[in-house]
Structure 1
Amino acid sequence: MTSKASPSSASGAGTLADLAADAYVYGYPLVFDVSMISAFMHKGFGSLPPTPFNQFGHAAKLATPDAHFVSVNNDTVYSIAQVDLSADPVLLHVPDTAGAYYVLQFVDVWSNNFAYLGKRATGTEEGDWLIVPPGWSGTAPDTVRGLIEAPTAVISVVGRNACDGPEDMPRVRALQQRLTLTPLDAATHRAGLPAPNPSVPEELRFYERLRVWMADFPPSGPDQDRQERFQPLGLLEEGPSPYVKADAVLVEALTEGLAAGKARVEAASNPPDDNGRPPGAWVANPHLFDYNLDHLGIGTIDAPQWKIADREESYLVRAAAARAALWGNHGYEAVYAHTFTDSDGEQLNGSRSYTLRFEQPPPVASFWSVTMYDTPDYYLVANPADRYSLGDRTPGLVYDEDGSLTVVIQRERPDNPAEAANWLPAPEGDFRPMIRLYTPMQSVLDGTYQLPPIVARG
Structure 2
Amino acid sequence: MKNKFLLILSCTSLIFNIGCKKSETENVASTTVALSETAIKMDGELPSKESIPVLFDEMDFQQATQCYLWGLPIVAFAEWQHIQYTTFNATSNDLIFYNSYNDRLGILTGNATTPYIISFLDLAENGPTVIEMPAGHTAGGLGDFWQREQAVIGEMGPDKGKGGKYLLVPPTMKDFKPAGYFIVPCNTVNMFFGFRALDPDPKTTETLVKQVKIYPYAKRANPTPTKVISPPADKKWYGIQPTGIAYWERLHAILQEEPVEERDRFFMAWLRNLGIEKGKPFAPDEHQKKILVAAAEKGQQMAMANSFSKRFADVKHWPDKKWDYVMIIKDPSQHTDNYDEFFERTSYFYEAVTYSKAMITKTPNVGQAYLGSYFDNTGNWLDGGKNYTLNVPANPPAVNFWSITVYDVATRCLIDNPQKNADLSSRKDLIKNADGSIDLYFGPKAPAGKEKNWVQTLAGKHWFTYMRFYGPTAAYFDKSWKMDDIKEVK
TM over 0.5: yes
1:222–1:287 CA distance, 2 compared to 1 (3 A): same
Name the CA distance, whole Å, in 2 between partners of 1:381 and 1:206. 23
Letter in 2 for 1:127: G
Query: Is 1:317–2:336 an aligned residue pair?
Result: no
Asked if the contact 1:65–1:381 (Cα under 8 Å) also holds between the matched residues in 2, the reply is no
Letter in 2 for 1:128: K
Asked if the contact 1:22–1:261 (Cα under 8 Å) also holds between the matched residues in 2, the reply is yes
Residue 389 of structure 2: aligned partner: 355
Q: Which one has the largest radius of gyration?
A: 2
Residue 136 of structure 1: aligned partner: 173
For residues 6-405 of structure 1, what are the structure 2 equivalents within 5 Å?
12-44=56-88, 50-59=89-98, 61-64=99-102, 67-86=105-124, 87-97=126-136, 100=137, 102-122=138-158, 123-137=160-174, 139-144=176-181, 146-162=182-198, 164=200, 168-186=201-219, 204-224=245-265, 227-243=268-284, 245=285, 248=287, 250-251=288-289, 253-271=291-309, 281-288=322-329, 290=331, 292-293=333-334, 307=336, 310-311=339-340, 314-329=341-356, 330-332=359-361, 333-383=367-417, 386-394=420-428, 396-405=429-438
1:288–1:365 CA distance, 2 compared to 1 (3 A): farther
Name the CA distance, whole Å, in 2 between partners of 1:158 and 1:264. 29
Name the CA distance, whole Å, in 1 between partners of 2:393 and 2:214. 45
Say which is worse superposed, 277-286 or 110-119, in terms of deviation. 277-286
Asked if the contact 1:280–1:342 (Cα under 8 Å) also holds between the matched residues in 2, the reply is no
Name the CA distance, whole Å, in 2 between partners of 1:132 and 1:80. 19
1:162–1:414 CA distance, 2 compared to 1 (3 A): farther
Asked if the contact 2:148–2:355 (Cα under 8 Å) also holds between the matched residues in 1, the reply is no
Query: Is 1:455–2:487 an aligned residue pair?
Result: yes
TM-score normalized by the length of structure 1: 0.77
1:422–1:178 CA distance, 2 compared to 1 (3 A): same
Asked if the contact 1:291–1:308 (Cα under 8 Å) also holds between the matched residues in 2, the reply is no
Name the CA distance, whole Å, in 1 between partners of 2:289 and 2:421. 47
1:137–1:38 CA distance, 2 compared to 1 (3 A): same
Say which is worse superposed, 169-178 or 222-231, in terms of deviation. 222-231
Asked if the contact 1:151–1:220 (Cα under 8 Å) also holds between the matched residues in 2, the reply is no
Say which is worse superposed, 361-370 or 168-177, in terms of deviation. 361-370
Offset, 1:125: 1.2
Letter in 2 for 1:331: I
Letter in 2 for 1:173: E
Asked if the contact 2:325–2:372 (Cα under 8 Å) also holds between the matched residues in 1, the reply is yes
Residue 470 of structure 2: aligned partner: 438
TM-score normalized by the length of structure 2: 0.72
- For the aligned residue pairs, the C-alpha RMSD in angstroms reads 3.4
Letter in 2 for 1:232: N
Letter in 2 for 1:286: M
1:116–1:56 CA distance, 2 compared to 1 (3 A): same
Query: Which structure 2 segments of 5+ residues have no match?
Result: 1-51, 225-242, 362-366
Name the CA distance, whole Å, in 2 between partners of 1:62 and 1:162. 15
Residue 237 of structure 2: aligned partner: none
1:234–1:273 CA distance, 2 compared to 1 (3 A): closer
1:152–1:274 CA distance, 2 compared to 1 (3 A): closer
